[in-house]
Amino acid sequence: MTNAQNDIAELEKTALGLRRLALKIIFQAGSGHPGGSLSATDLMAALFFGGILRYDSSQPKDPKRDRFLLSKGHASGIYYSVLAKAGFISEADLDDYRKINSGRFLSGHGHPKTPGIEIASGSLGQGLSVAHGIALGSRLSGFDSKVYVILGDGEIQEGQIWEAAMSASKFKTNNLIAIIDFNKVAQDNITKDLKDIEPIGAKWESFGWDVHRIDGHNMAEIIGILRKPVHPEKPRVIIADTIKGKGVSFMEGQTAWHGVAPSKEDYEKALKELE
Amino acid sequence: MKDAATRDAYGETLLDIGNNTDIVVLDSGVSDSTRTKKFGQKFPERFFNMGIAEADMICTAAGLATTGKIPFATSFACFLLGRTMDQVLVSVAYSNTNVKLVGTHCGLAVGEDGPSAQMIVDIAYTRAIPNMIVIQPADWEETVQATKALVEHEGPAYFRLGRPKVKAIFDSSYEFEIGKGRVVKKGRDLVIFATGIMVQESLLAMEELSKENINVTLVNMATLKPIDDEIIIEQTLSHGALITAEDHNIIGGLGDAVGQVLLENQISVPFGRIAVKDQFAETGTGPQLFDKYGLSSNHIVQAVKNTINNKR
């Protein structure tokens, strides 16, 4: 199944449904990461259902496909929800999320045993390097595939991110597109107080990247930047200002909702806000 | 056959097999020492010098592997593995990507650069990783064949190579096979299981021993995982005494692997071990360090005699 919903309102509706689904499976699992799933939802909805990412879920290993990597792997609640909606797995598979003997290996963090997933995640900082390797490999094979990777804002405190930033610049890997889900909140603290990553745009510019900054919850803006042709030689980074827990008022901007599942009461309250 | 370092054989083999366009080579700024430089000159589009950034190199290799390439990620063993446990575990082993981790300059044989450059825990570490196989060739011919075998093998591998020149041991009639030990020389009184540079060191010891009419068998254990249980059991039972020899810490290396096989098979015979005795060494030439830290042929001679005495 390939998807191309061009209508912004339709995409927003899709994103709303994905938020409900992600919260549902985290609630069912009794554990997971709602905050970072909700902040990344609009970005992933645009990629998978806005006609950006080139994929065929019945051919998940097609060598000419575009690739998507979720480097901030803890947001698996939204990842699996998107993969189900895109047809890589079924919605029924989601009932196994974070449970033993999961038929599609729906672990707390993604793994390539699940169709649609390229590489294991769970340790922050590795995804940009992996995505870069994929971009180099695709280019070497003569394919025009693009590789999209979503990074967390806290994640870019990892030194390896900056090793990869230097590498992609050196190799002029312009089919690599990093998207930073800049939700301002990490597990321990707000990112700024944990260790400030600003001035974030200047950092990437000085590393030789084509830098763009958008509102990561404005679907028209997201689609607009994702449709922009690649830079002739620079890798691209899209800094998407987002809100942790976006869409559920009592979760928004809260470190407390980084890594806990909602109670039944909170889940029902959240669903009402996501209608 | 050629007297040369195993890293030299690796570099030359990459050139020979480089026409296979699936092969890509990565290095982290030490390609003149690891001998990947020539591959880079001949096949620049398939050579990625990632700079001094081992973690990035390992994960980039993993990404390349997912596109069907066969990456050889190469650096000094100390940094290739020392700086990248997390990357090797998640992006290579757990993801089961077809990445060949090639660590040169292993063991005390490195010499003067000192303990921070002498990797003595890599066999222990890589053997403990699910999905990973571990190979250490002993000479030129074996390195050539093992490099080619790694191209055919689908899955993560650690390839342990050395800095100093070693003597040619095998000719082109030798047949390397992943997972198989090989009898290098047949004897009577005891069997030595050796790996890497210690195969050469054992041969030197055997020359000395033969002068005293002590004849021992030497088995080359190039594959450290999966370990060849069969040859360990068969040779140990037929000799009734054994020693293991490795340029690696005594914990977690060949000696432990062999001991584990014997224990699991209820085989209890005199057993001597040549290895670094759970300590960091110092600076000095490779041969000086081998002598001082118990790895040189004279130590093997002594260990063989002691072990045979325990047999009686």
Across A34-44, average pLDDT: 97
Residue A4: per-residue pLDDT: 56
Q: Please give the residue range of the domain that contains residue A238.
A: 8-273
Residues 46-65 of B with CB under 8 A from A: 46, 48, 50-51, 53, 55-56, 58-65
Confidence of residue B311 (pLDDT cuts 50, 70, 90): confident
Residue A186: per-residue pLDDT: 87
Model confidence pLDDT, tens digit, residues A158-177: 999 999 999 999 999 999 99
Judge whether A2 lies within some domain: no
Asked if the Cβ–Cβ distance from A137 to B68 is below 8 Å, we say: yes
Residue A3: per-residue pLDDT: 52
**DSSP-assigned letter for residue A257:** G
Cα–Cα–Cα angle for B10, B15, B21, rounded to 5 degrees: 115
Look up residue B87 and give its two tokens. Answer: 């990357």
- Which domains are present in chain B? 6-160 (3.40.50.970), 182-311 (3.40.50.920)
Across A225-252, average pLDDT: 97
Judge whether A98 lies within some domain: yes
Q: How far is the C-alpha of A44 from the C-alpha of A75, rounded, in Å?
A: 11
For strands B157-160 and B133-135, give the pairing: parallel
Model confidence pLDDT, tens digit, residues B231-274: 999 999 999 999 999 999 999 999 999 999 999 999 999 999 99
- Of the residues B54, B142, B201, B246, only one is catalytic, namely B54
Reduced to 3 states (helix: H, G, I; strand: E, B; else coil), residue A135 is: helix
Model confidence pLDDT, tens digit, residues A187-203: 888 889 999 999 999 99
- Chain A contact present for B68, CB below 8 A: yes
φ, ψ (nearest 5 deg) of residue B273 = -135, 130
Residue B144 host element (H or E): helix B140-152
Confidence of residue B312 (pLDDT cuts 50, 70, 90): low
Judge whether A33 lies within some domain: yes
3-state helix, strand, coil in chain B (%, to 5): 45, 20, 35
The answer to whether residue A91 scores a pLDDT higher than 90 is yes
Nearest of A2, A24, A43 to residue A219 by alpha carbon: A43
Residue A76: per-residue pLDDT: 97
Residue A1: per-residue pLDDT: 43
Residues of B in contact with A112 (CB under 8 A): 66, 95-96
Q: How far is the C-alpha of A30 from the C-alpha of B252, rounded, in Å?
A: 39
Judge whether A149 lies within some domain: yes
Residues of B in contact with A163 (CB under 8 A): 50-51, 53, 55-56
The dihedral built from the CA positions of residue A248, A252, A258 and A260, taken in this order, carries a sign that is negative
Query: Nearest by CB to A120, which of B24, B60, B95?
Result: B95
- Complex ipTM: 0.96
Residues A56 and A90 sit within 8 Å (Cβ to Cβ): no
Residue A188: per-residue pLDDT: 86
The identity of residue A275, as a single letter, is E
Residues of B in contact with A121 (CB under 8 A): 90
Average pLDDT value for chain A = 96
Query: Nearest by CB to B56, which of A111, A140, A163?
Result: A163
The answer to whether residue B110 scores a pLDDT higher than 90 is yes
Q: How many domains does chain A have?
A: 1
CATH code at A219?
3.40.50.970
Average pLDDT value for chain B = 98
Judge whether A1 lies within some domain: no
Confidence of residue B287 (pLDDT cuts 50, 70, 90): very high
Residue A189: per-residue pLDDT: 86
The answer to whether residue A183 scores a pLDDT higher than 80 is yes
* B-chain residue closest to A138, CA distance: B67
Model confidence pLDDT, tens digit, residues B141-158: 999 999 999 999 999 999
Distances (CA, A) of A144 to A34, A71, A147: 34, 22, 10
Residue A6: per-residue pLDDT: 63
Q: How far is the C-alpha of A73 from the C-alpha of B144, rounded, in Å?
A: 40
Reduced to 3 states (helix: H, G, I; strand: E, B; else coil), residue A162 is: helix
Give the lowest-confidence range in A2-6, A179-183, A246-250, B6-10: A2-6
Look up residue B238 and give its two tokens. Answer: 């037929």
- Chain A contact present for B90, CB below 8 A: yes
Does a cis peptide bond (omega within 30 degrees of 0) precede residue B130?
no
Burial class (CB in 10 A: 0-12, 13-18, 19+), A190: middle
Residue A5: per-residue pLDDT: 57
Beta partners for A70?
A150
